[in-house]
Amino acid sequence: MFKKIFNTALQGFFWILPILLIIFIVDWLFAKASTLTRILFDGLGVNTSEYFLLWVIAGIVATALVLSIIGSIATTRAASMLELLVKKVPFYSTIKDIVDIFNSSKKGKNDVLVVAIKGFTQSGYNIGLMYSIKESIIKDHYTVTLSMSPIPNGGFMFEVHEDDILVIEGAKFNDNLNYLLSMGTKSMSEILSQDPNSNLIAFAKWKKK
């Protein structure tokens, strides 16, 4: 009886854990926004103690607008020139590359590909990531990273022949992260809401598109 109660309570904990994490993150962001708003408006001599929630909302909206403006500027030539100067700062390039990996909106040659490669058993496949489509030092080979589950901050890198790589079209970095964190309880086809084997294309053919 005790084991049954414990297992039921454990299921309830893991069910409510994502909700609690979201509440925690929202509460943390709200606290930070409140602090920044107070500092900003107090510095301007504005009394924020009255209608405080309204001032916080105004601060969040203003922050969103500023970030939108920065996002628009980020694609201009002026931003590119500024980035060339900032790249001279130690570790900037490394940190930026890591951040770009998590930016699912990033396009172009650095866009992360979710791929399937022949597995380590006699049959089957493994799902991994290609952070770059640059050819390896070995002709017709490309680097594929297989992350660990459920903690994806480690893994293994392999040089795989292009004939053994299948690109999962429509899959993004976040989809692979969801797949890893689920520890296989969610299949990739379930995460992508598509039939198995659909949208699979050979890497050599994908490059020609």
Whole-angstrom distance, CA of residue 154 vs CA of residue 173: 15
Does the pTM exceed 0.85? Answer: no
HEC states along 142-183? EEEEEECCCCCCCEEEEEEEHHHEEEECCCCHHHHHHHHHCC
Q: Among 1-5, 109-113, 144-148, which is the least confidently predicted range?
A: 109-113
Q: What is the pLDDT of residue 42?
A: 66
Q: Give pLDDT, residue 109.
A: 45
pLDDT digits (tens, 9 = 90+) for 31-47: 776 677 667 666 666 66
Beta bridge partners of 127: 116
Which is nearest to 149 in space by CA: 180, 124, 121? 180
pLDDT band (50, 70, 90) for residue 178? confident
What tokens appear for 45 in the block?
A: 């001599």
The tokens describing 65, both together, are: 């607008």
Q: What is the dihedral of CA 15, 21, 22, 24, to 10 degrees?
A: 140
Query: Look-up: residue for tokens 């050599």?
Result: 204
State how far the Cα of 42 lies from the Cα of 49, in Å rounded to an integer. Answer: 10
Range 194-198 average pLDDT: 71
Please report which helix (H) or strand (E) contains residue 129, including its range: strand 125-130
What integer is the mean pLDDT of 54-61? 70
Position 108 scores a pLDDT of 46
Q: How far is CA 74 from CA 64, 70, 92, 105, in A?
A: 15, 6, 16, 13
64-77 pLDDT tens trace: 777 777 777 766 77
